[in-house]
């Protein structure tokens, strides 16, 4: 099963807008994480599952901004096993310390700006 194209596009848009670091209010992706958590919580069960699969896939992305925002969202949603899987994935990458430090930022942002 795949996401409806319009839902997938909307989710991708929430990752990109506003741009991370483009403003003081979105220095570390605060708005992106909040918007993605809100979107997830607004969905029906089937769409939630599809978005969750997308978040999990993106949490192991070569794009640092995408993966740390995804980890932040997964953390905010209480998806601890998926967060740990992303950390295990990071350990296999070329610069694991850099990725892990970004994951830690994503989790901290999620803790501060969202509630599970």
35-93: per-residue pLDDT in tens? 999 999 999 999 999 999 999 999 999 999 999 999 999 999 999 999 999 999 999 99
Nearest CA to 37 among 7, 8, 77? 77
What pLDDT shows up at residue 9?
93
What φ, ψ does residue 115 adopt, rounded to 5°?
-130, 135
Q: Report whether pLDDT(2) > 60.
A: no
- Kindly report the number of other CB atoms within 10 A of residue 113's CB atom: 16
* Residues written for the chain: 116
What pLDDT shows up at residue 115?
60
Name the one residue in this structure whose structure tokens are 């483009």: 22
Is-contact 68 105, C-beta < 8 A?
yes
What pLDDT shows up at residue 116?
47
Within 8 A by CB and 6+ apart from 73, the residues are 33, 36, 37, 40, 55, 110
Q: Report whether pLDDT(1) > 50.
A: no
pLDDT, greater one: 3 or 9: 9
The pair of three-digit structure tokens given for residue 25, joined into one six-digit string: 């209010």
Is-contact 82 2, C-beta < 8 A?
no
Mean pLDDT lowest for which of 20-24, 60-64, 97-101? 20-24
């Amino acid at each position: 099963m795949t996401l409806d194209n319009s839902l997938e596009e909307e989710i991708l848009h929430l990752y990109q807008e506003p741009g991370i670091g483009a403003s003081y209010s979105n220095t570390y992706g605060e708005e992106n994480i909040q918007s993605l958590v809100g979107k997830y919580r607004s969905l029906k069960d089937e769409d939630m599952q599809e978005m969750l699969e997308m978040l999990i896939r993106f949490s192991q992305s070569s794009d640092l901004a995408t993966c740390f925002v995804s980890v932040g969202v997964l953390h905010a949603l209480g998806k601890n096993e998926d967060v740990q899987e992303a950390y295990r994935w990071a350990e296999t990458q070329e610069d694991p310390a850099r990725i892990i430090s970004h994951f830690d930022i994503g989790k901290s942002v999620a803790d501060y700006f969202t509630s599970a």
